[in-house]
Amino acid sequence: MDLFAKIKEVTELQAISGHEGPVRSYLRDKMTPLVDEVKTDGLGGIWGIRDNQETDAPTILVGAHMDEVGFMVSHIEANGTLRVVEIGGWNPLTISAQRFTLYTREGAHIPVISGAVPPHFLRGAGGQSLPSAGDIVFDAGFTDKEEAESFGVRPGDVIIPWSETILSANKRHIMGKSWDNRYGVLMVAELLEHLKGQDLPNRLVAGANVQEEVGLRGAKVSANLFDPELFFAVDCSPAGDVYGNQGKVGDGTLIRFYDPGHLMLPNMKDFLLTTAEEAGIKYQYYCAKGGTDAGAAHMQNKGIPSTTIGVCARYIHTHQTLYAMDDFLEAQAFLQAIVKKLDRSTVDTITTY
C-alpha cells in the first residue's frame, strides 16, 4: 500500500474524543504482529510493547492521540433540528454549511448538515454576528423531535465531520480531515513496522492516547501506567505559512521548542538537533500557541522529559486540512533515528542536570 493509500485509510476513520474505538481497532490490528504485548489503559489508550532483556534498558514512551474534533448532541428541538456542544476546539466560522455523520447508540449512521444563515435573511439586519457552536443548527432532515427520536437520536450522540481524503493536483499534498492526529497514529504504525526484526537499546512502548483534544487527558494515564524515562508525543500543529507565521508545509518536521504548556529542556533540544543533523533530517523551528500530550506527560510521576515529534498542516480542526506527504516521511525518519539512539547512556545524558 502506498503512502497516500495509508493516509486515506487512517484519516477517513471516524473517532472523536471519548469515542476512539475505530482507531483503537485499527492500531490493534497493525501493532499486534509487531510487538511482544498489546495493552490498553483504563481510559482506552492502546499500546504496543517491545520488551528488552537488558535489566537497565530505559523505557521510552511514544504516543500519538486517536481522537479528532467533532460535536455531541446537547438537545433535540421540537422541529427536529439538533443543537450541539463542541468536542475539541473549533473556529465558529468553519462549522456552518458542512456535512457530518451522526452516530447513535444503536450504531446507526445518519447524515447531518450544519446550517448557515442565507444572505437573504441578513439584508437590512446589519449583517451576522459571530455564532457560537451552540447557536448553529444541525439538520438531519427530521420533521420533528418525535421523528428524530424514532431514528434513535438522543442527547450525547456524537457528530463527526465527513470528508473524503484526496490528493492535490501536483500529487505532493493531501486534502481532507483529521490529520490532527491521524498523522500520529500512522507514525506509530509505521515506526513499529520499520523496526520489525531490529534490536533496540530500550524498552519501547508505542501507541496512542485518548481524549487529547479535550484537555490532554489520556497522556496523564499512560505516563503513570508505564512510568517512562522519556516521552515523545507525535502530533500535528497548525501551519502558519499562508498567514505570515511559523510552520511551513513542506519544510520538514518540527523542532517544537515552546508552547504555553511545555518548554523543551536544553538537553532534549541538544539531542534532537544532533540526531536530526546526523540523520540528514529536514526540520524547522516551531513556537506553538496550543498544546500537545507532552505538556501533560512531562509533569507526571517525578517529571518526565518530553517533546513532540510533529509536522504542520494548514487549516487543522476543520473538514479540509492540507499537508505534505514529504513532511510525514521526514518526521518518520526522525522518529526512527531517535528511538534507535536511546540507550542507557543517551537517556542518562538527557535526564542529567
- What is the 3-class SS of 103-168, one letter each residue? ECCCCCEEEEEECCCCHHHHCCCCCCCCCCHHHCCEECCCCCHHHHHHCCCCCCCEEEECCCCEEC
Closest CA to 60 of 205, 184, 197: 205
Selected catalytic residue, list 20, 212, 229, 330: 212
The answer to whether residue 229 is catalytic is no
Q: How far apart are CA 142 and CA 149, in angstroms?
A: 9
Which amino acid appears at position 228 of this protein?
A: P
Is the Cβ–Cβ distance between 349 and 271 less than 8 Å? yes
Residue 261, C-beta contacts closer than 8 angstroms, at least 6 positions apart: 216, 291, 295, 296
Amino acid of residue 158:
V
Q: Which amino acid is at 3?
A: L
Residue with cell 500537545: 292
Catalytically annotated residues: 212
